[in-house]
DNA sequence: ATAATTGATGCAATGGAAGTGCAATTATTA
DNA sequence: TAATAATTGCACTTCCATTGCATCAATTAT
């Protein structure tokens, strides 16, 4: 079990207070967050710093981007040992139409999708919308 | 085989020159188009009119919206007899990473996606990215 | 036919999110 | 300590989506 510091160092990312805070924030949430979610959580910090921090995380496969169709990009921590950079490792995302939260269903791998002759599938984005467990209870 | 006029009238949408032109434009294209694609095709017309026309079409299930992950909303005509408003009729979309075109693969229905207990699936967005038939040839 | 009403269009402005240039600050290395 | 490199903050920009309001056109009522 790596510490956050070790994780960052292993990817040659300098350990800064901001990066640790944002990482912890993401780790505590179990849902995908937008940049403005982060912004609201860290009002003292500048938006650009938050933006660049999350981009640094993204480039280094610490978080992955989620396009859930709301038009606003969301981010979530990659799982231990996930291979978000490798096309076939993609998992399913669920967007709740009631509470508007988006979560990673990391257990649910995306089924193989057949495409017509001549088409080459490189990667797949699958978002299921509906009512989440908390809202359907 | 309905004329465009009949289609519009059947949905209580007034037949205007602009609406006919935009409908024909969409019908000629076999790919999904952005608002600025339409804008470029009708430089004399105002963007707002084009925008509202497409929104009118969307509300009346004449076109459907496609979120292919490029960040820009695209639109395509609904098929004859399609039920885009009914959740299970959704089809697959393919986005080409080479030519950047997005097309409807209307023949390819989305497989049933299982979600965990407590979750209710209402609708699914599935976008496959890769190389299209024209670009892979 | 004319007036009243409703809807369509055009212009201007707004808002939100994403992204960039540059200067200032902070951390690392020489 | 000095030189260097990376991070942060501020201001600004761009792009797309959306709205308010005035005007214009079409439909309906008188
Ligand atoms: Mn995820
Ligand atoms: Mn389609
Ligand atoms: Zn919910
Ligand atoms: Zn292509």
Beta-carbon separation of B121 and A136 below 8 A:
no
CA-CA distance, B16 to B2, in Å (whole number)?
17
Residue A121: strand pairing partners: B130
Which positions on chain C have an atom < 7 Å from some protein CB? 7-12, 16-21, 27-28
Strand order in the sheet with B91-96: A102-109, A91-96, A120-131, B120-131, B91-96, B102-109
pLDDT at residue A91 in the model: 87
Backbone angles phi, psi at B24, to 5 degrees: -65, -40
Examine the pLDDT at A98 and tell me if it is beyond 80.
Answer: yes
CA-CA distance, A54 to B129, in Å (whole number)?
24
Tell me the shortest Cα–Cα distance from B124 to chain A, in angstroms. 4
Q: Which residues of chain B does A132 touch, with a Cβ-Cβ cutoff of 8 Å?
A: 118-119
pLDDT at residue B6 in the model: 95
Percent with pLDDT over 90 in chain B? 80
- Say whether the CB atom of A123 is under 7 angstroms from strand C: no
Beta-carbon separation of B115 and A94 below 8 A:
yes
The CATH number assigned to the domain holding A87 equals 1.10.10.10
Q: What is the pLDDT of residues B82-104, one digit of tens each?
A: 777 665 557 899 999 999 999 99
Write the CA distances from B122 to A10, A99, A104, A130, B23, integer angstroms. 41, 14, 17, 4, 29
The domain of A77 spans 4-136
* Residue A130 φ/ψ region, left for φ over 0, alpha for ψ in the -120 to 50 degree band, beta for the rest: left
CA-CA distance, B17 to A42, in Å (whole number)?
52
pLDDT at residue B88 in the model: 52
Which positions on chain D have an atom < 7 Å from some protein CB? 6-11, 15-20, 26-27
* Residue given tokens 């009708």 in the structure block: B42
Within a 13 Å sphere around the CA of A59, how many CA atoms are in the beta-carbon half? 10
Nearest nucleotide (CA of B17 to C1'): C8
Mean per-residue pLDDT, A69-74 = 94
In 3D, which of A54, A51, A60, A48 has the Cα closest to residue A12?
Answer: A60
Q: Domain count of chain B? A: 1
Tell me B87's DSSP state. Answer: G
């Amino acid at each position: 079990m790596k510490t956050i510091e070790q994780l960052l160092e292993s990817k040659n990312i300098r350990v800064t207070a901001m990066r640790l805070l944002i990482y912890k924030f993401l780790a505590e949430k179990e849902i995908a967050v937008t940049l403005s979610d982060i912004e609201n959580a860290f009002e003292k910090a500048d938006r650009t710093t938050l933006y660049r921090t999350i981009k640094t995380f993204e480039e280094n496969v610490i978080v992955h981007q989620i396009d859930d169709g709301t038009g606003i990009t969301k981010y979530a921590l990659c799982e231990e040992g996930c291979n978000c950079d490798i096309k076939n490792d993609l998992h399913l995302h669920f967007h709740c139409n009631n509470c508007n939260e988006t979560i990673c269903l990391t257990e649910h791998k995306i089924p193989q999708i057949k495409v017509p002759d001549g088409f080459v599938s490189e990667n797949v984005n699958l978002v299921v919308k509906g009512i989440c467990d908390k809202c359907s209870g």
